[in-house]
Amino acid sequence: KRNLASRYAARAAELKCSPAPRMPVKGFLGFGRLIESIKATNAERGPQYVVSAIDSEMGRNVHTVVVPIADYELIATRDPANVQAMLATKSADWDVGEARNASWRPLFGDGVFTSRGEAWKHSRALVRPQFTKDQINDLDLIERHVQQLFDAIDRSSSRVPSEAGKGWTPALDLQPLFYNMTLDITTELIYGYSVHSQNPRSRVALPTLPGLAQPDRENIGTHMDAGKAWVETRGALWKYRWLLPTKQFSKHCAAVHAYAQWFVQLRLQRGDGYLDGIREDTGQDSGSRYILLDELAKATRDPVELRSQTLNILTAGRDTTASLIGWIFYFLARHPRVFEKLRAEVLAEFPKPEGIEFRALRDKIPYMTSVINEALRVAPVIPLNERVAIRDTVLPRGGGPKGDEPMFVAEGQQVLIPTFAMTRREDLWGDDAEEFRPERWEEEGGGGGGGRKRGFEFIPFGGGVRQCLGQQFARTKAAYVVVRLLQRYDGIANAEEPADAPMRFHHTIENRSGSGVQVRLHEA
Ligand code: HEM
């Protein structure tokens, strides 16, 4: 070990690097830090824990630290220059950690989100072209599911007859409704058949496949959620994940696989007639429709690859977008002024449900863009990311007494990228960094409209070579759903008790509000 340390020291000196500050070792055998962070995640303040640990133990001006945990060391950096180096300018020296692949693979298989190295390059080349196609932004498809969302809200409201006719819905939690809606949208977009979790009566009968049981449309969302919670814990425990029992996790993995496998088999059997078959089964005109599985099957017929790639997109696309829409309404309910201003903009551009177009959603409602950005800043959907050095390399900052000298990183060393901590830095965002204030995006240097673009301190969709492929799709879908809800409702009230309860982050890869999105809505 000493030989290794002196080799690293020599290499660091050669590269003119200085060491970064080390956080104190904590707890029995150094496991204290791991236990603290797992406890914080369970208490729904995992992202906040990273900020408070660095601020209180190292100081608010320290942005890159070495964290000793048991028998390994983690680097944590909230310095945008270092993040830019890892994700973009020196990305050849970095990859996602082995922990991501090893923790995720049992559930979703090897796909664009989970794989590393050459396997990732292959996956990205396979799925990337799909995201440049206009058809992926199919607003008619989204509208059908928004209608079901309205029905679901109405059903919740009619449970309290005394409230009927007063215009206000009773208190309801919008968050699970958004998760159901995005599950319905994403399963339809990927496989051609929605699970219709919002309204199971909308499900169509599926054909019979010899030797394969019908897919479990009822429970797929639950299996995905439960499986992901295991993935999160497996990732946090990293090399100690063998301590975890596997029976429950394996059950969820098998159910998720069986679900995707069924559609893959159907596509392989039907071949080029897949879209026609969907049209016959669902009665919907899918003549010109775009279905991801159908497109991918033109490039590969490997059933495991098709299963894994579609499941990767299902998880990347579904939960993230639901989380974002949920947080937007969480903040709107607490900021009536923002609600009024946004609604006025929406109604001026889109007075009625018809004729809402993709390009107008992107370009014609700038305050919506500011609201979406601000929600992503205050409550980043992916608050923690990571990378590992795949060769000895250098980060531009973090070393030396002021943290402004380069630091050496040895091959195999893991780096935590707490994006949440970057968007909380007052020196980058101002004294009101904690506050939800969309107007900051309209100000000089704010990053919105005509202002300067934000750099690597704001990377809700990642950056560089592994940047999110679904960013535009997610932004459009979120904007569309918000527009449609603001057309229908002219008032929103926060129904959480107590009303000023602190934000809670329920973190299973993406984060959602731990207290849900408890609101009352007023029908226009
Ligand atoms: C609010 C919504 C979303 C957020 C915040 C988000 C965020 C992210 C982030 C941070 C990454 C980078 C991960 C990394 O650096 O390792 C990523 C990657 C990815 N996202 Fe998204 N995403 C969203 C929606 C979507 C949607 C709707 C889709 C697809 C339909 C999608 C597909 C992907 C894919 C395929 C990757 C993997 C790219 C790669 O590793 O090469 N995302 N996303």
Last residue of a domain, one of 395, 417, 439: 417
Q: Which atom of ligand 1 is nearest to the CA of 376?
A: 5
Residue 275 token pair: 């879209």
- Tell me the pLDDT tens digit for each residue of 365-394: 999 999 999 999 999 999 999 999 999 999
By three-state DSSP, how is residue 160 classified?
Answer: coil
pLDDT value of position 93: 97
**374 and 294 assigned to the same domain:** yes
Least confident of 395-409, 436-450, 485-499: 436-450
From atom 1 of ligand 1, which residue's Cα is the shortest distance away? 321
20 Cα to the center of ligand 1, angstroms: 31
Residue 242 token pair: 């063998």
pLDDT value of position 450: 42
Structural domain of residue 56, as residue ranges? 1-95+384-417
Instruction: Kindly state the average pLDDT of the residues 346-364.
Output: 93
For residues 462 and 449, what is the distance between their CA atoms, to the nearest angstrom? Answer: 20
Q: How many domains does the chain have?
A: 2
**335 and 395 assigned to the same domain:** no
Asked whether the predicted pLDDT for residue 165 surpasses 70, the reply is no
Residue 460 CB coordination number (10 Å): 22
**290 and 332 assigned to the same domain:** yes
Chain centre to alpha carbon of residue 368: 19
Mean pLDDT in the chain? 89
**502 and 458 assigned to the same domain:** yes
467 Cα to the center of ligand 1, angstroms: 7
183 Cα to the center of ligand 1, angstroms: 16
For residues 335 and 333, what is the distance between their CA atoms, to the nearest angstrom? Answer: 6
Q: Which of 190, 381, 468 to mutate to test the pocket of ligand 1 (most atoms within 8 A of CB)?
A: 468
**237 and 288 assigned to the same domain:** yes
From atom 31 of ligand 1, which residue's Cα is the shortest distance away? 470
pLDDT value of position 284: 79
Last residue of a domain, one of 417, 441, 475: 417
Give the containing element (helix H, strand E) for 317.
helix 303-334
**24 and 123 assigned to the same domain:** no
| 98 Cβ contact list (under 8 Å, min separation 6) | 116, 388
Instruction: List the beta bridge partners of residue 95.
Output: 388
pLDDT value of position 451: 45
For residues 40 and 157, what is the distance between their CA atoms, to the nearest angstrom? Answer: 35
Amino acid at 463: G
Q: Is 25 exposed, middle or buried (0-12, 13-18, 19+ CB in 10 A)?
A: middle
pLDDT value of position 60: 94
- Tokens 């926060």 correspond to what residue? 494
**11 and 55 assigned to the same domain:** yes
**344 and 434 assigned to the same domain:** yes
Q: Which atom of ligand 1 is nearest to the CA of 124?
A: 41
Cis-peptide into 200, omega within 30 deg: no
pLDDT value of position 339: 98
pLDDT value of position 37: 86
pLDDT value of position 82: 98
Asked whether the predicted pLDDT for residue 3 surpasses 70, the reply is no
273 Cα to the center of ligand 1, angstroms: 30
From atom 23 of ligand 1, which residue's Cα is the shortest distance away? 320
321 Cα to the center of ligand 1, angstroms: 10
**370 and 435 assigned to the same domain:** yes
**172 and 277 assigned to the same domain:** yes
- Tell me the pLDDT tens digit for each residue of 193-243: 999 999 999 999 999 998 888 999 999 999 998 998 888 777 776 666 666
**103 and 167 assigned to the same domain:** yes
- Tell me the pLDDT tens digit for each residue of 106-161: 999 999 988 999 999 999 998 888 887 666 667 888 999 999 999 999 887 765 55
409 Cα to the center of ligand 1, angstroms: 27
Chain centre to alpha carbon of residue 229: 14
Around ligand 1, the residues with Cβ closer than 6 Å are 96, 112-113, 124, 313, 316-317, 320-321, 324, 381-382, 385, 460-462, 466, 468-470, 473-474
Amino acid at 209: L
Instruction: Kindly state the average pLDDT of the residues 29-49.
Output: 88
pLDDT above 70 covers a percentage of the chain that reads 92
Higher pLDDT, 104 or 438: 438
pLDDT value of position 120: 93
Query: Are the C-beta atoms of 386 and 414 separated by less than 8 Å?
Result: yes
For residues 86 and 414, what is the distance between their CA atoms, to the nearest angstrom? Answer: 11
Work out the pLDDT band at 11, boundaries 50, 70, 90. confident
From atom 8 of ligand 1, which residue's Cα is the shortest distance away? 461
403 Cα to the center of ligand 1, angstroms: 31
Residue 85 CB coordination number (10 Å): 25
- Tell me the pLDDT tens digit for each residue of 440-489: 998 865 554 444 457 899 999 999 999 999 999 899 999 999 999 999 99
From atom 13 of ligand 1, which residue's Cα is the shortest distance away? 462
468 Cα to the center of ligand 1, angstroms: 4
Instruction: Kindly state the average pLDDT of the residues 309-314.
Output: 94
**358 and 250 assigned to the same domain:** yes
The complex scores an ipTM of 0.99
CATH number at residue 175: 1.10.630.10
60 Cα to the center of ligand 1, angstroms: 30
